[in-house]
């Protein structure tokens, strides 16, 4: 019987990760197709996606209120959802790698961005935004940053990333993330 519970817990975790992946891919696709959509269509689709994230957030809250073995693993998903809703991170790809705790992939993405910037394929402002997101995610995953990376973060960090850092550092339970996420979802709906 104990092995069945382990299997079910594993399946639940897999389903939650797949749902989070789908929602993050939906956000990424929306951003990539932004120019092809008119403003109303873009805003409606984004609002709908944020509502789906909010519903997913509520589901996680219900799951975490029970005595489940997923609590520690769900914390990463909570932070990813909070980041998406508060729009501290604007790059769904970074949110997804952060939620899945993939520091190696984040570092690979950063190296690709450095290359793209040097060859003129990536604008400086987009590079700065995404590098900030990646470095913040790496720091939150407990990865060691270089002195240059720390300097880049302190020089370029904005309010949204600072708010994300503060909330995620202060976490005692998931309640603070959910409270902030709920506030941000309400703002996004207006």
Q: How far apart are CA 141 and CA 104, in angstroms?
A: 11
pLDDT number for residue 105: 92
Residue that is written with structure tokens 């299997």 in the block: 7
* Cα–Cα distance list, 98 to 33, 42, 56 (Å): 23, 25, 17
Structure tokens at 87: 């729009």
The region of weakest confidence among 11-20, 74-83, 91-100, 180-189 is: 180-189
Instruction: Give yes or no for residue 39 having a pLDDT over 70.
Output: yes
Structure tokens at 134: 């990646």
Q: Is residue 8 classed exposed, middle or buried when 0-12, 13-18 and 19+ CB atoms within 10 A define those classes?
A: exposed
pLDDT number for residue 52: 87
Structure tokens at 88: 């501290």
Report percent pLDDT > 90 for the chain: 16
pLDDT digits (tens, 9 = 90+) for 57-91: 877 777 776 645 544 556 666 666 666 545 556 77
pTM for the whole thing? 0.51
Q: How far apart are CA 21 and CA 96, in angstroms?
A: 7
pLDDT confidence band for 118 (50 / 70 / 90): very high
> Which one has a higher pLDDT value, 115 or 178?
115
pLDDT digits (tens, 9 = 90+) for 154-188: 888 765 566 556 555 544 444 444 444 444 445 54
Q: How far apart are CA 61 and CA 81, in angstroms?
A: 12
């Amino acid at each position: 019987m104990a092995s069945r519970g382990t299997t079910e817990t594993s399946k639940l975790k897999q389903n939650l990760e797949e749902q989070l992946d789908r929602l993050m891919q939906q956000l990424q696709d929306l951003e990539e197709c932004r120019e092809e959509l008119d403003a109303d269509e873009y805003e409606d689709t984004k609002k709908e996606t944020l509502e789906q994230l909010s519903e997913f957030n509520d589901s996680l809250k219900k799951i975490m209120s029970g005595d489940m073995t997923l609590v520690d693993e769900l914390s990463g998903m909570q932070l990813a959802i909070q980041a998406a809703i508060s729009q501290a991170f604007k790059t769904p790809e970074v949110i997804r790698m952060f939620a899945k705790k993939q520091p190696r992939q984040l570092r690979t993405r950063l190296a690709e961005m450095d290359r793209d910037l040097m060859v003129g394929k990536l604008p400086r402002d987009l590079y700065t935004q995404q590098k900030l997101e990646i470095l913040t995610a790496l720091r939150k995953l407990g990865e060691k940053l270089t002195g240059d990376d720390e300097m880049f973060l302190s020089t370029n960090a904005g309010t949204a990333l600072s708010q994300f850092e503060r909330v995620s550092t202060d976490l005692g339970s998931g309640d603070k993330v959910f409270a902030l996420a709920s506030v941000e979802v309400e703002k996004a709906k207006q």
